[in-house]
Amino acid sequence: MPARRLSTLMMLAALASPVAAQTPTAPVTAPRAPLADAEAHRPTSIPDRIIRTIAADPSRSIAVTWRTDTTVAGSVAQVAPAEHGPRFLDKARTVPAASQDVTTNLGPARHHSAVVDGLEPSTSYVYRVGDGVEWSEWFEVRTAAAGAEPFRFIYLGDAQNNLRSMWSRVIRRAYADAPDAAFIVHAGDLVNRGANDAEWGEWFAAGGWINGVVPSVPSIGNHEYDRPRLPDGTAVPGAKGVMTAHWRAQFALPDNGPKGLEETAYYFDYQGMRVVSLNSSEGQREQAEWLDRVLADNPQAWTVVTFHHPIYSPAERRDNADLRTLWQPIFDRHKVDIVMQGHDHTYARTGLQSFDAGETADGAPAAPGTVYVVSVAGPKQYALEHEPWMRRAGEDVQLYQIITVDGGVLRYEARTATGQPYDGFELHKQPDGRPNVLVERVPDVPEIRRAPAPARAAAN
């Protein structure tokens, strides 16, 4: 046998032997310490946390917010009509940004926002943000139509915890299923502690470039309020929370709400639908008067409302009776179609529900009614307390919802984190202002519920 072949066979045999397989190839070292939050989420001169929102007429404007370190001055947004190639650069329009400094628990940062107006409806544009030296990538976006046209949007309940590791797949799956979504509704508690900049860093990282393309419509939750804390980190009992400085710095939202609640209570119109976001954590009575006016002067065919604390609560030992008494009669009076909520970390959905009459008969437009939904997108889950009003419910399930509006029909579908259809229905508008007809489209799959706790053995 040639010496070269014999040498090769001996080497392969040695590698295959149990002794060779067990020999470490590198010394074993202790695990390294995790990267400090201040370093992992440190701002730089390069724009990050870029997010598109709706601050004005979505058919003629684009709103965008981003973050840098405090060395950056003179930030701008550049916008141009989208083209097939790169020559749009010659046509880019520059719009100055407003900037504000925010000192977080991790240190100072500078947030910038720009609203680009004077755009054409139903038109694709590209935009980027920066200071003339450091720039973001170009994002391609599209303005809304000037009138009523079919569209769809995404609705997400609480994200709140394990944002980068476990909420990320939900928002990404939702976008994969509805890449043409007009906007994404976030029903409060985007993070767990509103003052924790690292959590906001994870929230933005989970959405990634989706945030820069699809407008976000966030409702503020109780966890976006900072409460005074004891040295051990627990909240001071009974202390009133203060809205986190992150909120208005990083979301450019309509400034048309009640005085003192700017950018936490607001509304906008989108292709035949009025979208209203409320702040259920404070100023509820002031919002009731404002909401009555906003809905009374509403030319849109469809109306949806979103806020954090549910009118009908599905979680154990939780109820918001005062809020229900204050706001639900207004929803009834103005025939709100859907109310989208979070907070209770379970899933539950009503039929056509009204304050005085309760639930109407299946599909029968005998009385006006609104569909109320509570959903959760993050991994934090509560126990469900089953109630007669629930048409569909779920525990220990992360969900996203895709809502499609097409003329006189609104289609709603809830899907699990793996993309499996979980709940669905349609609302059909009726002539002459008569109440909606509800058509159930619940998939033929069982509800996801917790296994019952084992019964305790009887005492002897």
Is the pLDDT assigned to residue 39 strictly greater than 80?
yes
Q: What percent of the chain has pLDDT over 70?
A: 90
Q: What is the pLDDT of residue 32?
A: 86
Q: Are 308 and 177 found together in one domain?
A: yes
Sheet arrangement for strand 437-440: 98-104, 107-116, 62-68, 48-53, 216-218, 184-186, 151-156, 399-406, 409-416, 421-428, 437-440
CATH number, residue 184: 3.60.21.10
- What tens digit of pLDDT does each residue of 318-346 get? 899 999 999 999 999 999 999 999 999 99
Structural domain includes residue 189: yes
Q: What percent of the chain has pLDDT over 90?
A: 83
Q: Are 169 and 77 found together in one domain?
A: no
Q: Are 134 and 205 found together in one domain?
A: no
- The residue to which tokens 């990320």 are assigned: 168
- Of 124, 142, 160, the position where a domain reaches its end is 142
Q: What is the pLDDT of residue 236?
A: 79
Q: What is the pLDDT of residue 428?
A: 98
Range in 334-338, 404-408, 451-455 with the lowest mean pLDDT: 451-455
- What tens digit of pLDDT does each residue of 61-75 get? 999 999 999 999 999
Structural domain includes residue 120: yes
Tokens of 52: 């598109």
- What is the spatial distance between Cα 116 and Cα 137, in angstroms, rounded to a whole number? 17
Q: Are 85 and 200 found together in one domain?
A: no
**Nearest CA among 369, 409, 372 for reference residue 393:** 372
Q: Are 78 and 184 found together in one domain?
A: no
Q: What is the pLDDT of residue 360?
A: 55
**Nearest CA among 343, 372, 345, 340 for reference residue 276:** 340
Give a three-class secondary structure readout of the chain: CCHHHHHHHHHHHHHHCHHHHHCCCCCCCCCCCCCCHHHHCCCCCCCEEEEEECCCCCCCCEEEEEEECCCCCCCEEEEEECCCCHHHHHHCEEEECEEEEEEECCEEEEEEEEEECCCCCCCEEEEEEECCCCECCCEEEECCCCCCCCEEEEEECECCCCHHHHHHHHHHHHHHHCCCCCCEEECCCCCCCCCCHHHHHHHHHHHCCHHHHCCEEECCCHHHEECCECCCCCECCCCCCEECCHHHHHCCCCCCCCCCCCCCCEEEEECCEEEEECCCCCCHHHHHHHHHHHHHCCCCCEEEEECCCCCCCCECCCCCHHHHHHHHHHHHHCCCCEEEECCCCCEEECCCEECCCEECCCCCCCCCCEEEEECECCCCCCCECCCCCCCEEECCCCEEEEEEEECCEEEEEEEECCCCEEEEEEEECCHHHCCCEEEECCCCCCCCCCCCCCCCCCCC
How many structural domains compose the chain? 2
- What tens digit of pLDDT does each residue of 141-158 get? 999 999 999 999 999 999
Q: Based on C-alpha coordinates, what's the Rg of the chain?
A: 26
Q: Are 388 and 277 found together in one domain?
A: yes
- What is the spatial distance between Cα 45 and Cα 109, in angstroms, rounded to a whole number? 10
Range in 62-66, 115-119, 128-132, 360-364 with the lowest mean pLDDT: 360-364
Structural domain includes residue 419: yes
Q: Are 134 and 178 found together in one domain?
A: no
- What tens digit of pLDDT does each residue of 162-209 get? 999 999 999 999 999 999 999 999 999 999 999 999 999 999 999 999
Query: How does residue 17 score in pLDDT terms, banded at 50, 70 and 90?
Result: very low
**Nearest CA among 130, 119, 4, 10 for reference residue 57:** 119
Q: What number is the average pLDDT over the span 228-243?
A: 80
Structural domain includes residue 30: no
Q: What number is the average pLDDT over the span 224-248?
A: 85
Q: What number is the average pLDDT over the span 18-28?
A: 53
Q: Are 414 and 374 found together in one domain?
A: yes
CATH number, residue 107: 2.60.40.380
Is the pLDDT assigned to residue 11 strictly greater than 50?
no
- What is the spatial distance between Cα 232 and Cα 213, in angstroms, rounded to a whole number? 40
95 CB contacts (<8 Å, ≥6 apart)? 76, 77, 78, 79, 114, 115, 116
Structural domain includes residue 25: no
- Of 112, 142, 172, the position where a domain reaches its end is 142
Q: Are 125 and 170 found together in one domain?
A: no
Query: How does residue 215 score in pLDDT terms, banded at 50, 70 and 90?
Result: very high
Q: Measured in whole angstroms, how far is the alpha carbon of residue 419 from the centre of its chain?
A: 17
Q: Are 370 and 394 found together in one domain?
A: yes
Structural domain includes residue 265: yes
- Of 142, 166, 185, the position where a domain reaches its end is 142
- What is the spatial distance between Cα 307 and Cα 318, in angstroms, rounded to a whole number? 16
Structural domain includes residue 449: no
Q: What is the pLDDT of residue 6?
A: 43
Is the pLDDT assigned to residue 12 strictly greater than 50?
no
Q: What number is the average pLDDT over the span 256-267?
A: 97
- What tens digit of pLDDT does each residue of 349-396 get? 999 999 987 655 554 444 679 999 999 999 999 999 999 999 999 999
Q: Are 337 and 434 found together in one domain?
A: yes
Structural domain includes residue 33: no
Q: What number is the average pLDDT over the span 6-26?
A: 48
Q: Are 295 and 401 found together in one domain?
A: yes
pTM of the full predicted structure? 0.90
Kindly report the number of other CB atoms within 10 A of residue 193's CB atom.
Answer: 20
Sign of CA dihedral 152, 157, 158, 162: negative
Q: What number is the average pLDDT over the span 267-273?
A: 98
Domain that holds residue 83: 39-142
Query: How does residue 451 score in pLDDT terms, banded at 50, 70 and 90?
Result: confident
